[in-house]
Amino acid sequence: MTGWLRERGLVLVNVALFVLFLAAMSVTGWQVANQEFADHGLAPESFAAFLGSGQFVEAVFENWESEFLQMGSYVVFTIFLFQKGSSESKPLDGPAPQDEDPRRHRDDPRAPWPVRRGGITLVVYENSLLILFGILFLGSFVAHAIGGAAAYNEEQLQHGGEIVNVVQYVGTSQFWFESFQNWQSEFMVVALLAGAAVYLRQRGSVESKPVHSPHDETTG
Going from N- to C-terminal start, the domains of the chain cover: 1-51, 54-220
32 versus 209: the higher-pLDDT residue is: 32
Contacts of 16 (CB under 8 A, 6+ apart): none
Contact 56, 183 (CB under 8 A): no
Decide which of 36 and 141 is more confident: 141
Predicted pLDDT at 40 = 84
pLDDT digit string, tens, across residues 49-70: 999 999 999 999 999 999 999 9
d(CA 129, CA 106): 20
Read off the pLDDT band of 158 (50, 70, 90): confident
Q: Cα dihedral sign for 208, 214, 215, 220?
A: negative
DSSP letter assigned to residue 94 = S
Give the separation between CA 142 and CA 58, rounded to whole angstroms: 10
What amino acid is encoded at 199 in this protein? Y
Q: Would you state the pLDDT for residue 1?
A: 74
Per-residue DSSP letters for 187-205? HHHHHHHHHHHHH---TT-
Neighbour tally for 113: CB within 10 Å:
9
Confidence of residue 209 (pLDDT cuts 50, 70, 90): confident
Averaged pLDDT, 194-200: 92
What is the arithmetic mean of pLDDT over 191-213? Answer: 90
15-54 b/e (C-beta count within 10 Å ≥ 16 → b): eeeeeeeeeeebeebbeebbeeeeeeeeeeeeeeebeebb
Distance, CA of 154 to CA of 156 (rounded, Å): 5
Distance of CA 81 to the CA centre of its chain: 20
**Mean pLDDT, residues 197-213:** 89
Cβ contact 213:220 at 8 Å: no
**Range of weakest confidence among 38-42, 139-143, 150-154, 189-193:** 38-42
| Per-residue confidence (pLDDT) for residue 20, from 0 to 100 | 98
The answer on pLDDT for 159 being more than 90 is: no
| pTM, rounded to two decimals | 0.91
Q: What is the rounded average pLDDT for all residues in the chain?
A: 93
When pLDDT is averaged across residues 174-182 and rounded to a whole number, the result is 96
Between 217 and 177, the higher pLDDT residue: 177
For 74-78, which contacts have Cβ atoms below 8 Å and span 24 or more sequence positions? 74/190, 75/129, 75/130, 75/133, 76/130, 78/220
- Region 26-48: what's the mean pLDDT? 94
Percent of the chain with pLDDT over 70: 99
- Give me the pLDDT at residue 220, please: 57
